[in-house]
Structure 1
Amino acid sequence: MEHRKVENPVVWFEIYVADIERARKFYETVFQIGLNEMPVPDIGEEIQMLFFPANMESQNRASGSLIKMEGMNPGGNSTIVYFMSEDCKLEEARVVDAGGKVFKSKMSLGAYGHMVLATDTEGNMIGIHSMK
């Protein structure tokens, strides 16, 4: 089997939430970014989405959104999204004030950098990764 030469095949993630404004405040506070509202097509279901900053024209750059949608519950932690950071201790310091919980404080991954595991206000586990 021949594989395509792709740097990063991940292009999108979705984090399901119960309270979209509470989740917005958490992510905007921890990562000091703004999430953008975007009109959702009428598909017969009520869906609310807030998008992380993205350049959809750029290849090999993943982006995603917070989503509130009937039948899709937060939590469960079968998938963990890792957010890039200059130094993950900085975001770790903001997690609790933003309403989340630190699950694992900054830990070394040796040559692969460092990581923090935290839960957001909706019970979703997230990772924060940095080389520093």
Structure 2
Amino acid sequence: MSSTEPRSRKEALLEPDWIIAMQEELAEFERNMVWKFVAKPKGHTIVGTQWVYKNELDESGVVIRNNACLVAKGYSQLERVDYDETYAPVARMEAICIFFAYKTYKNIKVHQMDVKSAFLNGELHEEVYL
């Protein structure tokens, strides 16, 4: 595993481990059928994308996985033109605290898991062009 997080796509493309991480991310998009290539439509704003590179570490700080995420540059949208609201499917700390209090009260065993590409399960009600 590459221990250095690249600062750009150009740097990432020099490391085989990061290329694999990017390929895995794109394969998830394809597997989940969340996008398709189309001609640039007239009159629609195109939202740019950017790669974000992070090392996943174990509890002792050793790199266990290179993680590459292709993210939309939502900040390039214009209010009242391109979007109504932004949303990220993450739990609020209050909800987590309530969950753990209930788990303790009911003596329920809890397991943690990392859901890769969880954001791909959200539904959009409009077309977005990247």
TM-score bracket, normalised by the shorter chain, equals under 0.3
Between Structure 1 and Structure 2, which shows a larger proportion of helix residues?
2
TM superposition score normalised by structure 2: 0.21
TM superposition score normalised by structure 1: 0.21
Compare CA radii of gyration and give the structure with the larger one: 2
